[in-house]
Structure 1
Amino acid sequence: MKLTAISACVATLFAGVATANTCAVIEDVAPSVEVRYKLHPDYTSTSNDYWSTACAKLDPSCVVYPESPHDVAAILKVLGRQNNTDRFAIKSGGHNPNVEWSSVDEGPLISTEKLDQVILDEESGIVRIGPGLRWDAVADALDGSGWSVVGGRIGNVGVGGYMLGGGLSFMSQQYGWAASSLIEVELVTPNGTIVTASADEHPDLFRALKGGGNNFGVVTSYTVQSYRQDDIYGGTVFFPRKSDTDELMLQAIQDFTRYNKDDKAAIIPTAEYTGAGILDGWIVFFFYNGAEPPEGTFTNFTAIPHLTDTRKTQSFASLVNANNFFVIRGSVYLIGTETIPLPTDPESDMASEFLPQVHEHWRNVTLGEQLVSGVIGSIAYQPFPRRIAQLARAMGGDLIDFDNDVDRIVIELNYSFFLQLDYERMSAAMEAAFGGIREIVLAGQEEGALPDAYLPLFSNDAFHTQDYYGRLRPENAELAKTLADELDPQGLFKERTGGWKP
């Protein structure tokens, strides 16, 4: 009895020591895992490589680089030890600018960059992809194979978080969300168990992973169906803002969302404004999944006076890499979103007034911040026609669970600026921007001018104060909560890392 009591004391003491230096314990119990500390070049590179300097400003206690599911399991077991209270984060591409979502201060940062496989079965087109890749690397790896996956539109976006948020793609009107093409997901649960989730194995977890974020463990690979693809047509066109540019552009966006029947065609129309109006206009990303679009596909846009046009026939990898030009480095970066329905009646007054109201509100908020150092504001109107929802449901469904009753637009709002001291001010501006858009929608629904549609938030574009789970269907939010409680009863992911929690 006395010996047992002494052993228990030693175990408790060891647990306390382990908690004091989680990074050292990871080195001890998982010697195959690289652990890097401050001043090491790998630490510096990984901890600074974020789209937002607000995330790069944080100092993790170490960066750990698992190379296998077993490495991840060992790391999570250390983090889950009794009395370990360290916060942690899991990093893929570093796109998400919400502080402590994929960044951490004084806790281990788990970098997935060594989970970087792209394994293609050239007969079936099934691809196994690691979460540590960015989409340009995936596109480069598949370039010339005749296959392409439904993935990011800007190459520098990471695979990991993008897939867990659903993932909008240039090919979404052909194949749904990026996550709709998932065949299986390899996941390490919070207690270190390695599981495979698919339509046949753990189907509820598989569905919840498509939109459920980082609540259920660490994904170590995605197996997806790719699709035949040769050369594509795409590029960007810049439209300087003139007296009628906004009106013409907003009408073209609405018409494309409502009437386009060519599933191979896609756009991202983005209005841009920099401080003092140095840049004031629209950048539109065009895509056609073929060597050349049929005549008239994008005429409503290209008929608007424009200054530059980079559209051409090229490989998909070439386009995705070229779009990296629009990634802004060296700035604090904020992102937010709203989902809006198109008016049911295209001939109604609301049909001609609704998007201009939204756009005017965004411009008023943005113009109010034009003296902030280095500020750039943008709003992207991402078409989400009912066709995408129809495909997503037909391909197995997901946690987001859009219905195909109405056509929608998923709005992405961005602010970048130079100084950290302006963070609170610009956060307030972001909340004013998406909050005002939400008020316009609710007022239109109350008047009966807008359809009373289900309008969840797109988590890949959401601001940290937005209520992602509160906007889901209650049964889907409950499914996520039930699964998180079952897989993570100690609250490792719920309490000690960022992200939206059910």
Structure 2
Amino acid sequence: MRSYATSLLLFGLLAPSRAATVAHDLREEIAARDCCQTLQSQLGPTAVLFPGSAGFQQLVNSYYSAQESEIISQCRVSAHSAQDVSDAIKIITKGGCKFSVRSAGHMTWAGAANIQAPGVAIDLKQLNGVNVSADKKVVSLGPGGSWGPVYDALDPFNITVVGGRSNTVGVGGFILGGGFSNLSPAHGFASDNVVNYEVVLADGRIVNANKTSNPDLFHGLKGGSTNLGIITRYDVNAFPLTPKWGGSRGYNVSQGPAIFDAMIKFIKKLPQEPLGGGSVVWGYSEDLKNDTIFGSFAYLGADATESKAQLFSEMLDVPPTFDTIRTNTDQQWLDSEVDVAFPGGLRRIFSTLTLKVDREIAEGIYRKSHDAFAGLVGKPGVSWTASFQPISITHLQATERAGGTPQGLSPEDGDLILLNLNTVWVEESDDAAMQAAVRDVINWGTKEAKRRNVLHPWLYINYALPDQKVYESYGKANVDALLKIKNKFDPKNTFGKLWKGGFKL
């Protein structure tokens, strides 16, 4: 029996190259339909959802960015257990179907954790458990949870974890990419505090990876993205819950240099008291119709006013235009300030650079951003922020104590500044212009930082554009080590061929 593409070719309606493409597309569509039907037959109708159903649309609408919510897969596997993920992987890989994996869906660029039909989406949002060990030293977290509910669940136990600074950020992607926390100056990345991963491998096996079982995989998963396995549970260190002091302060944009200098002094104090988190954010606010600057503050020690005043003294000396700082508050309230400033459901992209501590490059990036977005401000929903976040040497020392990272950072790098250029807009028609402006800023910042000898090569995967060279930034030795781990646990490169999204080795 002739295929549809063959028939068109014989009648002269398709060029040979186009016929091959159509035939390939048809094979993918047929394979995807077969995969979805088999998945539904084996996992059940409530676990495999199709476009048009309420359950399917509810999951798609829960992505953080509008770009991800617009992508419609062939079907969606709503996994409720590691076994569901294992069964799905066996069916999907046997059928040769392309797929994506979503934990909570906070990455912003289209296709980061979603896939267009005929691809199949594996959704881990229902894997959102929070379980505390009997001795309250370890917390087991499902990848589909978000940090607000995690903190709520841990409060009655009087413990916390190295988690996100937004209530809506997901557990899985946050830890998988490293994870910056207000606890990072004392305890490093969130990934430094993982004691065990439960992982589904490319052949569908469910294994544990820790310091004694699959230790190479355990190390690799701290920089593995979508290459080594699908993590279905994170077991992480717990720490005593302490009162929080913090909030935000706004400033006149002309005070930018002063507040940035004050942040540098704050960074230099962290080795004596690594209990504070903060950032300086320059940008354009649609609400204010003007450029703005604000600082975020978090102090995690006991409610010792003298201590936190000393740690943040220079930053607190700069006169604010508004002040939301509270004493004796909690992480959820601190995170809510971020959630109000950076809401979901809009068109959004992140981009990143890592810099040595230098005020002039930060000022330059602000000015370049102001110019690059000048023709776009005033369009519906357009805002941008350049957030400068410290990576203290105490953070990198904690990472080293935990066994190091394959991401290419060490205490020898000294104090660093992480840039997150966060842009938001509403209209799809503005996509190209916004993306061009972002790349203009990042390209300028890269060249200028190199010229000033203040560029660090590392790129933070959770903030990176899809075409930023994340793995190249880890260094050849780390990439070679990760490839060796990948070849051991996925010798057929199944995930490389079929798992779309994330960053690939």
- Fold shared, TM-score > 0.5 on shorter chain: yes
**Whole-angstrom distance in 2 between the partners of 1:162 and 1:109:** 19
Match of 1:303 among 317, 333, 342: 317
**Whole-angstrom distance in 2 between the partners of 1:392 and 1:410:** 16
Moved over 6 A (4+): 14-17
C-alpha distance 315-274 of structure 1, shift in aligned 2 (>3 A): closer
> How high is the sequence identity, in percent, across the aligned residues?
24
Offset of 1:51 from its aligned partner? 1.8
2:139 aligned with 1:134: no
Offset of 1:368 from its aligned partner? 4.2
2:398 aligned with 1:383: no
C-alpha distance 360-247 of structure 1, shift in aligned 2 (>3 A): same
Offset of 1:190 from its aligned partner? 1.3
State the number of aligned residues. Answer: 471
State whether residues 402 and 454 of structure 1, in contact with CA within 8 Å, keep that contact through their aligned partners in structure 2.
Answer: no
**Whole-angstrom distance in 1 between the partners of 2:122 and 2:46:** 10
State whether residues 155 and 241 of structure 2, in contact with CA within 8 Å, keep that contact through their aligned partners in structure 1.
Answer: no
Match of 2:18 in 1: none
2:39 aligned with 1:26: yes
**Whole-angstrom distance in 1 between the partners of 2:397 and 2:386:** 26
Give the residue type in structure 1 aligned to 2:153.
A
Give the residue type in structure 1 aligned to 2:68.
C
Match of 2:404 in 1: 397
TM-score (norm 2): 0.88
Moved more, 462-471 or 488-497: 488-497
C-alpha distance 122-368 of structure 1, shift in aligned 2 (>3 A): farther
State whether residues 271 and 281 of structure 1, in contact with CA within 8 Å, keep that contact through their aligned partners in structure 2.
Answer: yes
Deviation string, structure 1 residues 34-79 (Cα, Å, up to 9, x no partner): 1111222211111111221111111112221111111111100111
**Whole-angstrom distance in 2 between the partners of 1:16 and 1:334:** 30
**Whole-angstrom distance in 2 between the partners of 1:306 and 1:359:** 19
**Whole-angstrom distance in 2 between the partners of 1:494 and 1:470:** 17
Moved more, 316-325 or 198-207: 316-325
**Whole-angstrom distance in 2 between the partners of 1:419 and 1:17:** 34
Match of 2:166 in 1: 154
Give the residue type in structure 2 aligned to 1:395.
A
2:258 aligned with 1:258: no
C-alpha distance 381-371 of structure 1, shift in aligned 2 (>3 A): same
Offset of 1:363 from its aligned partner? 2.5
2:197 aligned with 1:182: no
**Whole-angstrom distance in 1 between the partners of 2:431 and 2:490:** 33
2:294 aligned with 1:283: yes
Q: Which residues of 2 match residues 77-92 of structure 1 at below 5 A?
A: 77-82=90-95, 84=96, 86-92=97-103
Deviation string, structure 1 residues 299-330 (Cα, Å, up to 9, x no partner): 32222222222221212233334532223233
Please, what is the CA RMSD of the aligned residues?
A: 2.2
Match of 1:341 among 333, 356, 359: 356
Moved more, 54-63 or 175-184: 54-63
Deviation string, structure 1 residues 68-122 (Cα, Å, up to 9, x no partner): 111111100111115x2x3321112211012111111112221112211111125
**Whole-angstrom distance in 2 between the partners of 1:17 and 1:278:** 51
Offset of 1:16 from its aligned partner? 9.9
Give the residue type in structure 2 aligned to 1:79.
I
Match of 1:72 among 85, 99, 103: 85
**Whole-angstrom distance in 2 between the partners of 1:255 and 1:227:** 27
**Whole-angstrom distance in 1 between the partners of 2:29 and 2:287:** 55
C-alpha distance 444-41 of structure 1, shift in aligned 2 (>3 A): same
C-alpha distance 374-323 of structure 1, shift in aligned 2 (>3 A): closer
**Whole-angstrom distance in 2 between the partners of 1:21 and 1:358:** 50
Offset of 1:223 from its aligned partner? 0.3
Match of 1:460 in 2: 462
Deviation string, structure 1 residues 226-258 (Cα, Å, up to 9, x no partner): 1011321122222242xx311112212222223
TM-score (norm 1): 0.89
Give the residue type in structure 1 aligned to 2:313.
T
State whether residues 36 and 120 of structure 2, in contact with CA within 8 Å, keep that contact through their aligned partners in structure 1.
Answer: yes
Q: Which residues of 2 match residues 165-176 of structure 1 at below 5 A?
A: 165-176=177-188
The alignment partner of 2:251 has SS state of strand
State whether residues 351 and 465 of structure 2, in contact with CA within 8 Å, keep that contact through their aligned partners in structure 1.
Answer: yes
Match of 2:434 in 1: 426
State whether residues 216 and 487 of structure 1, in contact with CA within 8 Å, keep that contact through their aligned partners in structure 2.
Answer: yes
Give the residue type in structure 2 aligned to 1:185.
Y
Match of 1:363 in 2: 370
The alignment partner of 1:296 has SS state of helix
Offset of 1:129 from its aligned partner? 0.5
C-alpha distance 16-458 of structure 1, shift in aligned 2 (>3 A): closer
